[in-house]
Structure 1
Amino acid sequence: MPARKGTATPKGGAVAGATTEPAGLNGDGSAARSASVIANVFDVLRCFTVQEPLQGVTEIAAQVGLHKSSVSRILATLEREGIVERDDLSRKFRLGLGLLAVAGPLLADLDVRRVSLPMLRDLSAATGESAALVLWDGAEAVTVEQVPSAQNIKHTTPLGTRYASPLNASVQVFLAELPDDTARARIEDAAAQTGRGADELLARLHRTRERGFAVNYGDTFPEEVGISAPVRDHRGETVAAVLLAAPLYRVDDRRLEELGRACAHTAAQISARLGAVPA
């Protein structure tokens, strides 16, 4: 039973009946316990670092001084919310992009996002279509910024939307950065699900490299066209992708090339702002 207000429950040598300050706002310790749980959650999250991005239950328990069962329950809750996710290979945990949903102010300080927004606005205004910025989490492309088209009929997606299919233009951009053997291994499992052969999907990646942008012409949704181009940093690494989304009925072959060039141009502008050397 919780201790009565003004008394302390015997614990660790405390004397029953001794007067104490109230344990919590309600005098029953509930606020203190809640604060303790929250503190434990933050302690668990702080275990994930740049140097050690993957953490298992045992490692975390040792670092925070909690029982493994407690850590496992915390991680299970965080995983359901997308705050952490499992690494497919090691089955350990890492931070998930679900953090984006609760880190809006933090996103404003994300260099690539801050740099990109004015150029995405210009791209959307110039093309009349929705422009977005996507990041790669190692397995999926995730929308982190978007400027909707001003037209009545448009294609938009909520921030945090994930793209996993190699038919998605933004996914093709990131897969095109991989060596052929690595890319093939990544797309072979998806090939059966898309109804396309691995050779066909790999050929798309080659085409993406050649022309500087990827195309999804009604492949994932029959009424939508997606066009994406890579954003590179000062090391020349692809750190993001610009994505244009438009209704298919507005995009014929000629306009497809125009949108592709516009998308690639904007991606190159953003890359230059990040310090990338022009190709």
Structure 2
Amino acid sequence: MKNEDDKNLLLVTASNSLKILTLFSDRTPLLGVTEISRRLGLAKSIVSRIIQTFVAEGVLERDELTGKYRLGTALLELGLIAAECNPVFRASQQVVEKLHQQTGLDSYLLLLDQNESLFLLLYKQPNSAWRLFCMGSRTALPNTIGGLTMLAFLEPMQAQQVMQSHFGCTSEMALLRDVRYLKEIEVSGYAYGEEPLCQEIRSVACPIFDPTGKVLASIAVSGGIQRVKLSQVEELLASVAKAARHISHSLYPLLRSFPPIE
């Protein structure tokens, strides 16, 4: 009985430890014991013990000015290793950077993670209007043009669930409008428009598929509304689509499911 209780205690501690780490983000890089305790509903003593263990192992480090904590070098090391070992990251890094340099625009790559998207890569111009996101940012699929591009190629039921979950009690008419918009993206094979969370930015995005036709990521270029005009969409689309095909070929070099790179 005692062994079983010890196992349960270890599982609870492990779960609480992971919950603490997932509170840190680009929007909340510094957190204190009190805030963590409040947000998770855990006793300060429990949070404090876990944090001290993390600090000792380099998982977290204490900011001397604020007394709060940030992610430590041990996680930075693991994150860099994870990135280098991630096949999509390896296949995309140079491609997204080259797209950024060739177009003179911001470029980003989103990785599909269940019903959300992760900014795996984001290259910004010095005067970029992108302020909400950085590499590592996680956001709902409908929050970006790249996310909407992936959303359009999910199974219809899954896409509808994502839309309803994101927008809440959406009216039937509004939902049908959103579904039609996603269908337009699916038919055309790309998305173009103003970024949902930043109307100052326009983007052109294309999906990236695996050999079975399942969407796994999207790649996009973005710029201010004065820079990315309707007359430029065709030229930009050609560059983005070529980049998407290049990534797919790099991921699956032995398969011939994708059109050749021109």
- Local SS of the residue matching 2:111: strand
For 2:114 and 2:151, how far apart are their aligned partners in 1? 10
Question: What is the match of residue 147 of structure 1?
Answer: 123
Distance 1:264 1:194, change over 3 A: farther
* Corresponding letter in the other structure for 1:76: N
Query: TM-score normalized by structure 1?
Result: 0.63
When the two chains are superposed, the root-mean-square deviation of aligned CA atoms in Å is: 3.1
For 2:140 and 2:153, how far apart are their aligned partners in 1? 16
Distance 1:77 1:215, change over 3 A: farther
CA contact (8 A) 2:143 2:195 kept: no
Higher relative contact order (CA 8 A, sep 6+): 2
- Give aligned pairs, total: 203
Question: What is the match of residue 178 of structure 2?
Answer: 201
Question: What is the match of residue 266 of structure 1?
Answer: 243
CA contact (8 A) 1:135 1:240 kept: yes
Question: What is the match of residue 81 of structure 2?
Answer: 105
Query: TM-score normalized by structure 2?
Result: 0.66
Of 228, 238, 251, which aligns to 1:251?
228
| Greater shift in the superposed pair: 157-166 or 252-261 | 252-261
Distance 1:152 1:190, change over 3 A: closer
* Corresponding letter in the other structure for 1:118: Q
CA contact (8 A) 1:191 1:198 kept: no
Deviations 1:34-60 (A, max 9, x none): xxxxxxxxxxxxxxxxxxxxxxxxxxx
Question: What is the match of residue 3 of structure 1?
Answer: none
Q: Percent identity?
A: 20
- Local SS of the residue matching 1:145: strand
CA contact (8 A) 2:146 2:206 kept: yes
- Local SS of the residue matching 2:85: coil
Question: What is the match of residue 127 of structure 1?
Answer: 103
Question: What is the match of residue 67 of structure 1?
Answer: 7
Distance 1:260 1:163, change over 3 A: farther
- Unpaired segments of 5 or more residues in structure 1? 1-60, 84-97
Distance 1:222 1:154, change over 3 A: closer
Matches within 5 A, 1:1-279: 66-82=6-22, 102-149=78-125, 151-155=126-130, 157-192=133-168, 197-275=174-252, 277-278=257-258
Cα displacement (A) at 1:158: 1.7
